[in-house]
Structure 1
Amino acid sequence: MVDATIWDQEITVPETVITYVDDNVVQKLPGGSTIKSISPHGASYWTRTARIQTLDAEGKDVSYFLKYHIQVSQGDVGKGMAMPNLAPRPIGWGVYAQEPDVYFFLCAFRDMTGDIPDPSSFPRMLAVMHKNGVSPTGKFGFPVTTYHGRFPQDTTKCDTWEESFSRSMSRFFELEEESQGFDEEMAQLRKALMEKVIPRLLRPMETEGRKIIPSLVHGDLWDGNASVDAATGLPIIFDACSSYAHHEYELAPWRPTRHKIGKPYVTEYVKHFPISEPAEDFDDRNALYCVRFNLCSSALYPGNLRFRNIVKEEMKNLIEKFPAGYEGNLT
């Protein structure tokens, strides 16, 4: 669940963009398309979304989904290509001709029921996406900047998962402090987490002959970004902030009890994509990854310290468990 006050925050994308179809959007539509209408569709905390209704070259009704952002974000693109049955098919993306500060992402329209996906099929399909969506360069990160909510992520290409995740954590620690203000205890916990816990939990997966294959992840897969296709009954995911990451990273939003997608989904997922070695660290890695998501949640709600306090408690637990860091793993 999200804090209801999030709806009070201003959307920076001008409302006028959902009143007309820009020429650059028209150019992305299939040849012979005739536009019938554009109207607001769906709800978003950070941007504006619309449905374009058209007639194709044969006179058939075809709809498209349009998402806008003040900065370019192609997080949905790779996800759709890696698993076309799980994500709306990307059509195109670019910048508005009449609004040069507004970027758009155009994809196939998929009507959704509003239900969350079934735990018997969704984790299996997600595991297939992770296996198919392998980084073409073998590096972690992403070719373009993607956005977690309204925040640009650090998607720098990295050779190791430890470096990639550390950069992401540093970025969101900074964003959280900008939002909530400096806190001495938070600063001390951050230092210990970065210097001790992250090396202890991530480095063993990439040493002693072990290796992580960078997988394409959605990046923010809580129940608010997943539903069921009304036409097919199959799971569908959207609003990605993709990157090539450790596949277990995807499971972090399934840890908090406030979310509707939880433990049963994790249990089913690991049947289709095995836990990385050392397997005994799996739950602690999941807790660490969840810190990253809760940092983002804290940054989104200035003045609300609920998520900061959750982050603090989880960091304390991890630091208490691994005070000696990676070196302690060698003894």
Structure 2
Amino acid sequence: MDRPPPTQADAVGDGVDLDQNVIKRSKVLSVTASGKSLWVRTVRITTELPDGAIVSYFKKGATGAKGSKMMEGTFAAEQALYDAIPQHVPKPLAWGAYHTQPDTYFYICEFIEMLDDVPSARQWAGAVAALHTASMGKSPTGQFGFPKTTHLANVPVDNTWSSSWEKFWAQQMKSLLDAEEALHGADEEFSRLKESFGARRNFNDRNALYALKYHVLLSIMYKKEPRYRGIAIDEMRRLVEKFGDAEVAEGTAIGEEALVEKAGVAEETAGDEKATAARGISPKI
């Protein structure tokens, strides 16, 4: 790992005081660690509401300008997903800056108890299909993209609006490849493969193509582990060699348009909600 865990902005324990922008009206019963991350700090906050109800929330936080972008992007993306498939997504509540630590930012949502069981393939596919169906045709621009920068771990991806799914996916991939190359330095084979790869955006092996994004992401996240870069280069080489002379297929796979058009779900209502969220105060907390 390349960095120490982020500093926890909140005290952990029973009856602790939390920043007024995180919890305003409720009584804090406990704050406990929830999950682990190298990029953010995550906690479970259990509170007693004014009406006596006991409610738990999940909160994550990070510092600096990147932390602000990460929390803002998380809120926007989770709101879009929640608007489309609320049965599958914890309800987003707020994002914002701490009052006492203005350079520390947070995202908070309802807390959902996680199960150890893995959903069946049919259940998982059903959730994806529900997202596609609910978000179809709702892009505010009629294009593919998202109005906010989002992150894979702490790595930003390019969500600029684009006229086709292929172009949108290619620009996201290019942003990751550029970040990987900037981090690791010049490599003749990597640079050559990156250029060849970018010129051929549509491969028959779509699963392998989509998985490549995460091979590159791992190479960025674990820069001191050269095997991850080796895996990314090997997979890029395999795809370029296999499909280097193939014609680009016309159109896109069924349903891919809907996956990115989820952006439109939250766009129309984001303005009113962000006014509250940016302050970091949820009306129900």
Inter-partner Cα distance in structure 1 for 2:243 and 2:51: 64
Determine which structure has greater relative contact order: mean sequence separation of CA pairs < 8 Å that are 6+ residues apart, divided by chain length.
2
Inter-partner Cα distance in structure 1 for 2:38 and 2:116: 17
1:141 aligns with 2:145: yes
| Higher mean displacement: 181-190 or 130-139 | 130-139
The 3 A distance-change label for structure 1 pair 18 and 292 is farther
CA positional deviation for 1:320? 1.9
User: Unaligned regions of 5+ residues in structure 2, if any?
Assistant: 251-285
CA positional deviation for 1:297? 0.8
DSSP-derived class of the 1:39 partner: strand
The answer for the alignment partner of 1:161 in structure 2 is: 165
Q: How does 1:77-226 map to 2 (within 5 A)?
A: 77-134=79-136, 135-137=138-140, 138-195=142-199, 197-198=200-201, 200-201=202-203
The 3 A distance-change label for structure 1 pair 187 and 40 is same
After superposition, the C-alpha distances for 1:221-266 in whole angstroms (9 at most, x for unaligned) are xxxxxxxxxxxxxxxxxxxxxxxxxxxxxxxxxxxxxxxxxxxxxx
Inter-partner Cα distance in structure 2 for 1:16 and 1:170: 34
Runs of 4+ in 1 over 6 A off after TM superposition: none
Which one of 233, 245, 270 corresponds to residue 312 of structure 1?
233
After superposition, the C-alpha distances for 1:76-125 in whole angstroms (9 at most, x for unaligned) are 23222221111111112122222222221111111113333232312212
Inter-partner Cα distance in structure 1 for 2:60 and 2:180: 26
The 3 A distance-change label for structure 1 pair 100 and 139 is farther
Preserved CA contact (<8 Å) 1:80 1:86: yes
The answer for the alignment partner of 1:48 in structure 2 is: 41
The answer for the alignment partner of 2:19 in structure 1 is: 22
Preserved CA contact (<8 Å) 1:51 1:64: yes
**Residues matched between the structures, number:** 235
CA positional deviation for 1:190? 0.8
Preserved CA contact (<8 Å) 2:9 2:104: no
After superposition, the C-alpha distances for 1:145-186 in whole angstroms (9 at most, x for unaligned) are 111001111111222222211211111112212333221011
The answer for the alignment partner of 2:4 in structure 1 is: 10
After superposition, the C-alpha distances for 1:113-146 in whole angstroms (9 at most, x for unaligned) are 3333232312212221232134432222211111
The answer for the alignment partner of 1:257 in structure 2 is: none
Preserved CA contact (<8 Å) 1:21 1:38: no
DSSP-derived class of the 1:24 partner: coil
| Higher mean displacement: 18-27 or 294-303 | 18-27
- Percent same amino acid at aligned positions? 32
After superposition, the C-alpha distances for 1:274-319 in whole angstroms (9 at most, x for unaligned) are xxxxxxx3xx122112111110011111131222222222222222
Inter-partner Cα distance in structure 1 for 2:117 and 2:183: 32
Task: Give the TM-score taking structure 1 as reference length.
Answer: 0.65
The answer for the alignment partner of 1:244 in structure 2 is: none
CA positional deviation for 1:56? 1.9
Preserved CA contact (<8 Å) 1:180 1:303: no
User: Unaligned regions of 5+ residues in structure 1, if any?
Assistant: 1-5, 202-280
The answer for the alignment partner of 2:256 in structure 1 is: none
Inter-partner Cα distance in structure 2 for 1:325 and 1:95: 50
1:64 aligns with 2:57: yes
| Higher mean displacement: 147-156 or 306-315 | 306-315
The answer for the alignment partner of 2:208 in structure 1 is: 287
Task: Give the TM-score taking structure 2 as reference length.
Answer: 0.75
After superposition, the C-alpha distances for 1:54-88 in whole angstroms (9 at most, x for unaligned) are 11232121111111132333232322222111111
CA positional deviation for 1:327? 6.7
